[in-house]
């Protein structure tokens, strides 16, 4: 019973860390990264469709993304979607290929991005702590129902705290790496 709760806590906490990694990977660092264009939706036959489903997104060099639509008619639609996505990007079209050069980040923008990264990390920490709170509540319920002893409850609480500390440490590590990456010129 307690082992199942511990496994559940670890799985849910791991998902919080994975979610943070995904969120931070979308953050622009000055280097080309295809995940930067992932949130963009394109009107495809009247339905908002993820960019990856209507075009091939690749990296040309360290500061340029290349978008190759599968249908020639989609070039202006994709170009407009990239411009209106508020990412500060200006696509350049050459025939059926759309190049998206990434302008260098200013020092001020780097600091803003670091603040955003830290805010995302704090949200992930809160999520991990909420999971800990839920699991501890479940353990207390088991104690009230006399399914476990007080010693079991204390040991389980200590184990859950260790798991929480592990994932909070991972979150700190992820955000520290992102901060270092953002400060890199």
Q: Is 140 helix (H, G, I), strand (E, B) or coil?
A: helix
| CA proximity to 177, closest of 17, 5, 1 | 17
**The predicted structure's pLDDT at residue 11:** 94
Mean pLDDT computed over 26-41? 77
- For the chain, list the domains and their CATH numbers: 2-26+106-183 (1.10.132.20), 34-101 (3.30.1360.40)
CA atoms of 131 and 133, how far apart (whole Å): 5
Query: Which residues have CB under 8 Å from 26's CB, separation 6+?
Result: 35, 36, 38, 39
Residues 63-105: pLDDT tens digits? 888 999 998 888 898 888 888 877 777 888 888 899 988 877 7
- Residue 185 pLDDT class (50, 70, 90 cuts): low
Give me the helices (H) in 50-184, please. 75-83, 107-144, 150-183
Query: Which residues have CB under 8 Å from 117's CB, separation 6+?
Result: 24, 27, 175, 178, 179, 182
What integer best gives the mean pLDDT of the chain?
A: 87
Burial level of 109, CB count in 10 A (0-12/13-18/19+)?
middle
**The predicted structure's pLDDT at residue 30:** 66
pTM here?
A: 0.70
Instruction: Yes or no: say if 184 and 32 are a contact pair by the CB < 8 Å rule.
Output: no
CA atoms of 179 and 75, how far apart (whole Å): 35
Please give the share of the chain, as a percent, with pLDDT higher than 70.
Answer: 98
Instruction: Yes or no: say if 157 and 139 are a contact pair by the CB < 8 Å rule.
Output: yes
**The predicted structure's pLDDT at residue 28:** 67
The residue with greater pLDDT, 183 or 158, is 158
CA atoms of 126 and 19, how far apart (whole Å): 13
């Amino acid at each position: 019973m307690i082992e199942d709760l511990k496994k559940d806590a670890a799985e849910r906490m791991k998902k919080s860390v994975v979610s943070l990694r995904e969120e931070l990977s979308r953050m622009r660092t000055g280097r080309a990264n295809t995940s930067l264009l992932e949130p963009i939706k394109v009107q495809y036959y009247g339905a908002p469709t993820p960019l990856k489903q209507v075009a091939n997104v690749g990296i040309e060099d360290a500061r340029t993304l290349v978008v190759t639509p599968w249908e020639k008619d989609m070039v202006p639609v994709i170009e407009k979607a990239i411009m209106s996505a508020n990412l500060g990007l200006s696509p350049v079209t050459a025939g059926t290929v759309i190049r998206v050069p990434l302008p260098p980040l200013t020092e001020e923008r780097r600091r803003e991005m670091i603040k955003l990264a830290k805010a995302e990390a704090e949200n992930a920490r809160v999520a991990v702590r909420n999971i800990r709170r839920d699991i501890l509540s479940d353990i207390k319920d088991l104690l009230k129902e006399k399914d476990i002893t007080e010693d079991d409850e204390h040991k389980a609480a200590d184990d859950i705290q260790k798991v929480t500390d592990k994932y909070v440490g991972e979150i700190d590590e992820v955000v520290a790496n992102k901060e270092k990456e953002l400060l890199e010129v």
